[in-house]
Homo-oligomer: A and B are copies of this chain.
Amino acid sequence: MERLDMKVITNRDEAEVQAAPVPMITSPRGFTAAGLHAGIKRKRKDLGLLWCQVPAAAAAVYTTNAFQAPPLGVTREGLAASQGRMQALLVNSGNANACTGEQGWLDAREMRRVCAVELGISESLVGVASTGVIGERLPIGRIVGSLPRLTASLTQEGDQDFGAALLTTDTFPKTAEVRLTVSGREVRIAGAAKGSGMIHPNMATMLAFLTTDAVIEPPVLQRLLKEVTDESFNMITVDGDSSTNDMVSVMASGLAAHPTLDETHPDWERFRAAFAEVCRRLAQMIARDGEGATKLVEVTVRGAETLEGARQAAKTVVGSSLVKTAVFGADPNWGRLLCALGYCGTQVNPDLVDLWVGDHLLVHRGLAVPGAEEAAKETFLGDKVPFVLDLHQGTAAATAWGCDLTYDYVRINASYRT
């Protein structure tokens, strides 16, 4: 299947697809949100609610981890029962409700049930998600006890509290929004995400919730979400660990009131590009906020024989511990990038490979460019380190994002629960 180039926002498009000045997940028509401290975490907000005034067309993708957490299964059941509609999304942080057995399912269903009662809607219209420590029972009493206060506090400005309630080891909230016109009507697409550790491409590998007021049917939305996830959220890695809990969902209120979008709509490609832009921005924010990270690392592989090969190569290189530590140490140790490329499983001819970092060609046709390392040093000192590997074997390209591996990654994860 042919995919769009990663840089879908061209100069021409930029005139029409605009990034919102202050991104808000509640910016698309119909959405409000809330967040509060329910007592799952010690102090910080840990329970969030996203609400749509109408039952939204919805879609979701889930982690492929065999130990998929109960809330994901409950959300999947709900979307099936409602035929792709969702009106509310309840998410807690501080406890993943994973590896909790049958009790975990009961707890996930209970948080959904009470939320639906408070909101006066069908249970199948409520999605649930959890993130945090694995293997401990969800403090369901605290969640249920906080729901009246949470549902009563839904506002458009609640987006900040909602975003805060998602976070675990994140150091900043992650929100993105773009606006475009579809059939002459303004359409907004927004998203909020969390994710800092246990991040690795395999499916939806963290929590991200997208909203839009576009008019679109659930099956089209599901196809779009799956495709775009593969080129955004599935292209980031922090530590190679694919979580039990991660999920990306999207709710489309339809309140922009334009003719229904699908692949045949004249504005489809622009809508797809805008949707992908929101997902890529969130994905990059997650990579940049990788546990302990000081830099965003971007690896583009081009000239690959296949898209799958390009993706595999980009993800492998950006995920290499030795590449990550070299970036942390601002060491233009290009041999580590070539080494990672060499074991990624993608067809590579060593004698053809070019490697760029920023504007500096470090490796030409597999050999070091004399003097280039010294010149490239400054690029390694920036807060974003962009690599391009050209395999010169075909026309496929892909980009993956990650971060450096630092003392703080070790500190955070050696003492996560203590």
**Which residues in A have some Cβ–Cβ distance to B below 8 Å?**
64-68, 96, 98-101, 133-136, 197-198, 200, 202, 239-244, 319-322, 325-326, 328-329, 331, 333-336, 338-343, 348-351, 363, 366-368, 405-407, 409-411, 413-418
Chain B residues whose C-beta falls within 8 Å of the C-beta of A410 in the assembled complex: 325, 328, 405-407, 409-410
18 residue pairs of the A-B complex, CB under 8 angstroms, read A66-B348, A67-B339, A67-B342, A98-B335, A99-B335, A99-B363, A99-B368, A135-B363, A241-B320, A241-B322, A241-B336, A242-B342, A244-B335, A328-B410, A331-B416, A406-B410, A407-B410, A409-B410
Instruction: Indicate if the CB atoms of A240 and B320 lie closer than 8 Å.
Output: yes
From the candidates B67, B239, B325, B350, name the one contacting A99 in the complex (CB within 8 A). B350
> Would B202 and A343 count as touching, CB distance under 8 A?
yes
B residues less than 8 Å from A338 (CB atoms): 67, 99, 134-135, 244
A341-B66, A342-B66, A413-B329 given as contacts; is B135 within 8 A of A334 (CB)? yes
A345 to B37, CA, bound (A): 37
Question: How many copies of this chain does one complex carry?
Answer: 2
Query: Chain A contact residues: over half helix, strand or loop, or mixed?
Result: loop
Give the residue name and chain of the B residue nearest to A200 (CB): B343
Do the beta carbons of B351 and A101 come within 8 Å of each other?
A: yes
Q: CA separation between A99 and B351, bound complex, in Å?
A: 9
Closest to A240 in B: B321
Q: How far is the CB of A239 from chain B (nearest CB, A)?
A: 4
In the assembled complex, which residues on chain B have CB atoms less than 8 Å from the CB atom of A333?
134, 416-417
- What's the least CB distance linking A234 to chain B, in Å? 13
In the bound complex, how far is the Cα of B139 from the Cα of A322, in angstroms?
24
8 tightest Cβ-Cβ pairs between the two chains A and B: A134-B335, A329-B414, A325-B413, A67-B342, A65-B342, A242-B343, A66-B342, A135-B335
Q: Give the complex CA separation of A349 and B417 in angstroms.
A: 27
Residue of B nearest to A244 (CB): B339
Given contacts A322-B197, A339-B241, A407-B407, contact A415 B331 (CB under 8 A): yes
- Contact between B243 and A328, CB atoms less than 8 A apart: no
CB distance from A206 to the nearest CB of B (A): 14
Which of chain B's residues have a CB closer than 8 A to the CB of A348? 66-67
Complex contact B241–A343 (CB within 8 A): yes
Chain B residues, Cβ within 8 Å of A65: 339, 342-343
Instruction: Specify which of B99, B325, B339 is in contact with A366 (CB 8 Å cutoff).
Output: B99
Extra pairs beyond A66-B342, A99-B363, A99-B367 (12, CB < 8 Å): A66-B341, A66-B343, A67-B338, A241-B320, A241-B322, A321-B409, A326-B414, A329-B416, A331-B414, A331-B415, A333-B417, A407-B410
